[in-house]
Amino acid sequence: MTEPGVALGAAVDPAEVAPATAGQPGRPLVLLLSGPNLNLLGDRQPEVYGSATLEDHVAAATEAAASAGLAVEHVQSNHEGVLIDAVHGARGRCAAIVINPGAFTHYAWGLHDALAAFDGPVVEVHLSNPDAREPWRRTSVVSPVATGTIAGLGGHGYVLAIAAVARLLA
Ligand code: CA2
């Protein structure tokens, strides 16, 4: 955990994450979710995912959100159940969700169902363009429950996703 409301790592109970709105009254909260292996960004495969770290992307999203009058709470996990719990914890508390589900994109129906039960906008983000890669990456079980998807634009996708959320909430 790097600061209250910004959680990196597996064993994160969203209920124990300090509200990111603390000290930011009135700012709608955006839950930023990162799926498996995204904690390794910047370390390997920079030709596919770029050289920025996950913390860099969270910082860019947080800065873009602040400019738009929003606050960001970040949870990364390598475990589907932790992400599902985070989505449940967002219900009635967060205005929107931005999610890079990692490889869960392609098969995690439990995550799909949890997102379907969330009432606000859901924006799916991918650093790479999964449609231009291996055939198994061309299926997303998240897209059917996402308001929209941003893919293939690298880290800029996180900033665009926050801009989209700000527009959707306006
Ligand atoms: O392009 C994306 O953002 C993905 O969601 C990234 C996932 C991949 O499974 C999706 O198909 C597309 C993988 C994230 C893992 O990233 C790594 C970074 C460094 C080293 C190893 C994996």
Among candidates 141, 136, 121, 132, which has minimal Cα distance to 35? 141
Atom 13 of ligand 1: nearest residue by CA position: 102
Give the residues across from 100 on adjacent strands: 34
What is the Å distance from ligand 1's center to 105 Cα?
10
pLDDT of residue 17: 36
Give the residues across from 73 on adjacent strands: 31
Tell me the average pLDDT across 96-121.
Answer: 98
Q: How confident is the model at residue 7 (pLDDT cuts 50, 70, 90)?
A: very low
Would you say the CB of residue 43 lies under 6 angstroms from ligand 1?
yes
Rg (CA), the chain: 14
Q: What is the pTM of this model?
A: 0.88
Q: Selecting from 3.40.50.9100, 2.40.50.100, 3.40.228.10, 3.40.50.2300, what CATH number does the domain 6-16+36-169 have?
A: 3.40.50.9100
Q: How confident is the model at residue 98 (pLDDT cuts 50, 70, 90)?
A: very high
Tell me the average pLDDT across 89-109.
Answer: 98
pLDDT of residue 20: 41
Residue type (1 letter), 73 = E
Q: What is the mean pLDDT of the chain?
A: 89
Return the active site residues. 49, 126
pLDDT of residue 1: 33
pLDDT of residue 43: 84
- For residue 114 the two structure tokens come to 């949890």
Q: How far apart are CA 110 and CA 96, in angstroms?
A: 19
Residue 25: pLDDT over 90: no
Would you say the CB of residue 128 lies under 6 angstroms from ligand 1?
yes
- For residue 74 the two structure tokens come to 């970040």
Maximum pairwise Cα distance, the chain:
45
Please state the domain extents for the chain.
Answer: 6-16+36-169
Q: What is the pLDDT of residues 132-149, one digit of tens each?
A: 999 999 999 999 999 999
Q: What is the pLDDT of residues 52-73, one digit of tens each?
A: 999 999 999 999 999 999 999 9
Would you say the CB of residue 38 lies under 6 angstroms from ligand 1?
yes
Buried b (16+ CB within 10 A) or exposed e, 134-158: eeebeebbbeebbeebbbebebebb
Atom of ligand 1 nearest to the CA of 100: 5
